[in-house]
Homo-oligomer: A and B are copies of this chain.
Amino acid sequence: MTAKKAVVLVSGGLDSATTLAIAKSQNYTCYALSFDYGQRHKIELQAARQVTKDIGVVEHKFINLDLDNIGGSALTDSNIKVPINGLSQDIPITYVPARNTIFLSLALGWAEVLSAYDLFIGVNAIDYSGYPDCRPEFIVAFEKLANLATKTGLEGHHFKIHTPLINLTKTEIIQQGLKLGVDYDITISCYQPDERGHICGLCDACRLRKEGFEAL
């Protein structure tokens, strides 16, 4: 029996590393996809490379995409500062317009070429920044779209978007990853690490990660 193929979005952070480990544990043959999208924390791609090497994938593809050409986020416009005063009630300025729609669309394109019908994304709607494109209703709508948008969908195959972390707390995510042997030391979550990879410790991503480990 041939193992089923999955395309897994890997950013280099804690969540996507755990997601990749979960996909592997479910016996998927994994194809990792990362984006060089003009992000402030481009150093995360080095971590992504280490993560996929460590966990093991068939192929790791990097797609170049100049989202800094669009801007509108502290992560893609260097003139906008990353907030460091703690999580707010509102959607923060680190929100990148339509990012997960764009990333999943590209993952869908690659999946179709590979004849892979399973896509994994490490979105989380519990310990998160309130990004709209991390919520279950977004994922449901994308899955429906994926099956209407593609030749594969028309031919009767069904794309499934897997979100194994969506209802977990950060601590539960880490617990699951540790069980699966994820080495979190090689992951990076910070939105604004320096060029040597030193984290700021103050941005939302750093705070969520730290609180997750502290609660363990």
Count of identical protomers in the assembly: 2
Per the bound structure, the CA–CA distance linking A142 and B153 in Å amounts to: 15
Q: Which residues in chain A, 130-177, are within 8 Å of chain B measured between CB atoms?
A: 132-133, 135, 137-138, 141-142, 144-146, 148-151, 153-154
Contact A70 B106 (CB under 8 A): yes
Interface 1/0 per residue, A53-84 and B, CB below 8 Å: 00000000101111101111000000000000
Known A61-B69, A64-B66, A97-B112; contact A132-B105, beta-carbon cutoff 8 A:
no
How many A residues have CB within 8 A of the partner chain?
Answer: 42
**In this assembly, does A108 line the interface, its C-beta being within 8 Å of a C-beta of chain B?**
yes
Query: Chain B residue with minimal CB distance to A67?
Result: B109
Query: Chain B residue with minimal CB distance to A77?
Result: B113
Q: Provide the residues of chain B in CB contact with A1, threshold 8 Å.
A: none
